[in-house]
Amino acid sequence: METNLFTNAASAGAANTGANAAPAANTMSDSKEMFTKLLVAQIQNQDPLEPSDPSQFVQQLTQLSQTEAMQNLASLTSNNASVLQSMQVLAMGGQVGSEVMAQTDTVKLDGNKVNGAITLSGNSSKTTLVLTDGAGQDHELALGPLAAGNAPFSIDPTAMGLPAGSYKMKVVTSSGELPPVDIAGRLNSVRLGSNGSIVLSIANVGEVAPSNVTAFNGKSSNAVAAAGAANTTL
């Protein structure tokens, strides 16, 4: 009866894992040792009149080596991803205090003016930014006729009579285009989320992923002066 040592070793390894929760790092080593013992036992107990084909042993050894290589590659890839993520957090952390532009469909107003921009692919003879409050009430900010390209705007909550809070945003154009909205704000913090993803906290926007950031505009003169004063004190 033909026996596949690779399958036997994997099955025995799975059974041992259920009985003894061995560390993942030792699993492959245990499987190799078990495979070697089974290989020796199979060679010793084969029928002398019908010896096993040596190519079967070579094939089984090749399967084990390939599995080990794949596990090592997966472990290396995981480690590299962790290192890359740490580098991204450090790089983003160095930008804390910078003014950034982030693509978003919500804006947080606290009475101060908020700057933003939209990018049109075509001309619009009438363009309106619609802000929807928590009660579902729409507030319109006329942006006028706009040419294709980047168009900055400013939201003045006081002039529009908007109380502090979070507002949904959308842009209505005469062409029917729905351009994304970028809001300017200060990068306040960088952290790792519960699922391991990087989360940025941006003033006027809230928490977003790094992919939402469309521009870094540098640190304001006040922030630079404050940092300089802190370094001088230290």
> What pLDDT, in 10s, does the model give residues 95-130?
889 999 999 999 999 999 999 999 999 999 999 999
Q: Which domain holds residue 59?
A: 5-93
The reply to whether 115 and 162 lie within a common domain is yes
The reply to whether 65 and 160 lie within a common domain is no
Give me the pLDDT at residue 227, please: 44
The reply to whether 218 and 108 lie within a common domain is yes
32-89: pLDDT as tens digits: 677 777 777 777 777 666 666 667 767 777 777 777 778 777 777 766 666 666 676 6
The reply to whether 75 and 138 lie within a common domain is no
The reply to whether 123 and 80 lie within a common domain is no
Partnered with residue 198 across adjacent β-strands are 192
Torsion angles phi and psi, residue 23, rounded to 5: -60, 145
Query: Worst-scoring range by mean pLDDT, 88-97, 111-120, 158-167?
Result: 88-97
The reply to whether 28 and 81 lie within a common domain is yes
The reply to whether 88 and 148 lie within a common domain is no
Q: If you compute the radius of gyration of the chain from its CA atoms, what whole number of angstroms results?
A: 31
Report the C-alpha gap between 193 and 207 in whole angstroms.
Answer: 10
Domain boundary among 48, 74, 93: 93
The reply to whether 75 and 103 lie within a common domain is no
What the block records as the tokens of 136 is 């579902």
The reply to whether 222 and 107 lie within a common domain is yes
The number of distinct structural domains making up the chain is 2
Query: How many DSSP H helices and E strands does the chain contain?
Result: 5, 11
Mean pLDDT across the chain: 79
pTM of the model as a whole: 0.61
Query: Worst-scoring range by mean pLDDT, 19-33, 52-66, 206-220?
Result: 19-33
- Domain CATH code at residue 114: 2.60.40.4070
Burial 20-48 (b: 16+ CB within 10 A, else e): eeeeeeeebebbbebbeebbeebeeeeee
